[in-house]
A and B are shown apart, each in its own frame.
Chain A
Amino acid sequence: DQQVKQNSPSLRVQEGRISILNCDYTNSMFDYFLWYKKYPAEGPTFLISISSIKDKNEDGRFTVFLNKSAKHLSLHIVPSQPGDSAVYFCAASSTGNTPLVFGKGTRLSVIA
């Protein structure tokens, strides 16, 4: 049973517009959430995280929103750039640095 779900396998966005990637989770014990970006044949790169005591965290063009009651988080990229084209993984863990649980990823394509 998937504890972290990314229901959109792919997303196409025009350059300059907003990209919104979504993630749902089922385990109410999760309190730390991360987004990773991955290019082919490379390891994932950490992008941004949020703990359950917050509902928003911003870092440059990247913002993560957390809705605990809906068990939903989203990553907003504004403005989207062609270099943002990659697979984005959502991950979650519970307190105590337990191993991360990953979603299956969403492939973002930013079109010039």
Chain B
Amino acid sequence: DGGITQSPKYLFRKEGQNVTLSCEQNLNHDAMYWYRQDPGQGLRLIYYSQIVNDFQKGDIAEGYSVSREKKESFPLTVTSAQKNPTAFYLCASSMTGSMFNQPQHFGDGTRLSIL
């Protein structure tokens, strides 16, 4: 089955620690995205990548870093510089280069909590 896999589903971090969230897709999509959702809020874009070895900051990139070494993978690192990291993190992917716009497909998310 094609899809997006995020792991782990729940993650706990001590203050001052960096932590990496995994996102893998087997949809052969070029573009991948990371969003953050807080209670009562919409999805806010952290980083996105439209092609391997290239990525751009979204609206709330401070305190986060990403890499895109492979088409299938787009890991997100939450660094100690992120002052309020407790949130639900969602990864998505979509086709690009198509004549028509394509919807994004989402993984099931990772909930990050600070101990």
Chain A interface residues toward B at CB < 8 A: 4, 6, 9, 32, 34, 36, 41-46, 49, 51, 89, 91, 93, 95, 97, 99-105
Contacts and interface: CB of A to CB of B under 8 A. Distances in A.
Contacts of B35: 102
Interface residues of B, number: 33
Contacts of A4: 42
Contacts of B6: 43
14 contacts: A4-B42, A34-B103, A41-B109, A43-B4, A43-B92, A46-B103, A51-B100, A91-B43, A93-B101, A97-B94, A97-B101, A99-B58, A100-B45, A104-B42
Given A42-B109, A49-B101, A99 B45 contact: yes
Interface of B: 4, 6, 31, 33, 35, 40-45, 48, 50, 58, 88, 90, 92, 94-98, 100-109, 111
Given A97-B31, A97-B94, A44 B101 contact: no
Contacts of A41: 88, 108-109, 111
